[in-house]
Amino acid sequence: MSRKYFGTDGVRGKVGEFPITPDFAMKLGWAAGTVLASTGTKEVLIGKDTRSSGYMLESAMEAGFSAAGVNVALIGPMPTPAVAYLASTFRADAGVVISASHNPYYDNGIKFFSNSGTKLNDAQELEIEALLEKALNQNAMQCVASKKLGKVRRIDDAAGRYIEFCKGTFPNHLSLAGLKIVVDSAHGAAYHIAPNVYRELGAEVISINDRPNGVNINDHCGATHLDSLQTAVMVHEADLGIALDGDADRVMFVDHNGHVVDGDEILFILAQAAHSKGEMTGGVVGTLMSNLGLELALKQMDIPFVRAKVGDRYVVEQLKETGWQLGGEGSGHILSLNHASTGDGIVASLQVLKAVLESQKSLSEIKAGMTKLPQVLINVRLATADADADSILATTSVQQAVIKAEGILGDQGRVLLRKSGTEPLIRVMVESTDTIMTQTQAEYIADAVRAA
């Protein structure tokens, strides 16, 4: 059974348009509260990023949970992984994040975490959706008796607790003293968290894009727009730069030469560091989009590599199935399950910094063992938000374009088409050993998708 509202990363869309409306958020809160309460839930913890729409959606969710008889703890602007951690440490039964991650300010989203800090499974989301449908279409939302309504409290020391958690994942015998680091918080949820973590561990920190105003989150900054970080690293002659996205579940680096170090290279660095110390247990989980260069570099170290579907929830599922600890995506979602239960940009960055310090090399040097193959990703935006991506992908013209491109690439490359789980896009990815051929075939397939 397919899900109607929950994408690969919860519910997401444009603010003011269904489903990101106050009415939907309230009924989603009620449906989730009702389902979770049936399993014993008494309190949920709600965090958000820095979008101005977060206040509206937070209030609506709060009302829905209260109507279902579930208490609410509010922690304000906080990274997504912080909500996952704090839901557990404050003994809440579940966590809710109001964020659209790396999307522009006019989008927002809602996602849930269990009390163990992991995302809800498909069965739970389907159960919530079934009740939500009744609330939306049959006016089935009900309110518990007044004496059973959920109560609301605000937690004031959440940021400090999470900062200490992040620092606790970094070895006590190491220090960042002597490192100059530029930190780009994307005007997002980590603006008051990330710079303090690195400072308190000893680094000299130059903090940029750390003044959120409700509408500047991810605006030409952060993990999806690295130009300003690259410039700042060079201007300040920093050792490296660290970029987070709006909810700080992604991280990207820039080395001292201004070159980007992406999620695939981060996975290589972490695997190489563990392998060199004899601490690599199992293999690495990537995704269908992971660069082939990562797979080949891991193979040279006899480290197994498997590909999951795109989306960090699927990487987590694969990690649990294999019993491995390390996985992630090229976009900077890094899973290190021996340190955090979900993708955590700050925690992942600290593991990279640990590798740099222990190797006594620069970031540029320790990434050199992996050679990325030319990879072109073209995002084809659908004509309308409700356009059927599956139908477009199934058209004869698109299928024939893929077959032709694969014939040209042969065994020197691969093609991947997939619809986005968070935006009205079809992603066209082509990878091969030849840069020009890769670009040409990606554009050829993208043109076929646009014309379909």
pLDDT value for 2: 67
- Mean pLDDT of all residues in 304-322: 92
Q: Is 331 a catalytic residue?
A: no
- Mean pLDDT of all residues in 321-329: 97
pLDDT digits (tens, 9 = 90+) for 69-114: 999 999 999 999 999 899 988 889 899 999 999 999 999 999 998 8
237 φ/ψ angles, rounded to the nearest 5 degrees: 50, 50
pLDDT value for 77: 97
Whole-angstrom distance, CA of residue 149 vs CA of residue 275: 53
Neighbours of 165 (CB within 10 A): 20
pLDDT digits (tens, 9 = 90+) for 203-251: 999 999 999 999 999 999 999 999 999 999 999 999 999 999 999 999 9
Residue tagged active-site, from 53, 66, 99, 101:
101
251 φ/ψ angles, rounded to the nearest 5 degrees: -145, 140
pLDDT value for 180: 98
Q: How confident is the model at residue 310 (pLDDT cuts 50, 70, 90)?
A: confident
pLDDT, greater one: 1 or 378: 378
CB 441 within 8 A of CB 402: no
pLDDT digits (tens, 9 = 90+) for 193-216: 999 999 999 999 999 999 999 999
Whole-angstrom distance, CA of residue 375 vs CA of residue 150: 50
- Mean pLDDT of all residues in 409-431: 89
Q: How confident is the model at residue 38 (pLDDT cuts 50, 70, 90)?
A: confident
CB 238 within 8 A of CB 178: no
Is the pLDDT assigned to residue 1 strictly greater than 70?
A: no
Is the pLDDT assigned to residue 451 strictly greater than 70?
A: yes
pLDDT digits (tens, 9 = 90+) for 152-175: 999 999 999 999 999 999 999 999
Share of the chain above pLDDT 70, in %: 99
pLDDT digits (tens, 9 = 90+) for 101-152: 999 999 999 999 887 777 777 788 899 999 999 999 998 999 999 999 999 9
CB 335 within 8 A of CB 329: no
Interacting residues of 342 by C-beta distance below 8 A, sequence separation 6+: 80, 81, 84, 113, 117, 118, 119, 249, 312, 316, 335
pLDDT digits (tens, 9 = 90+) for 267-292: 999 999 999 999 998 999 999 999 98
**pTM for the predicted model, two decimal places:** 0.89
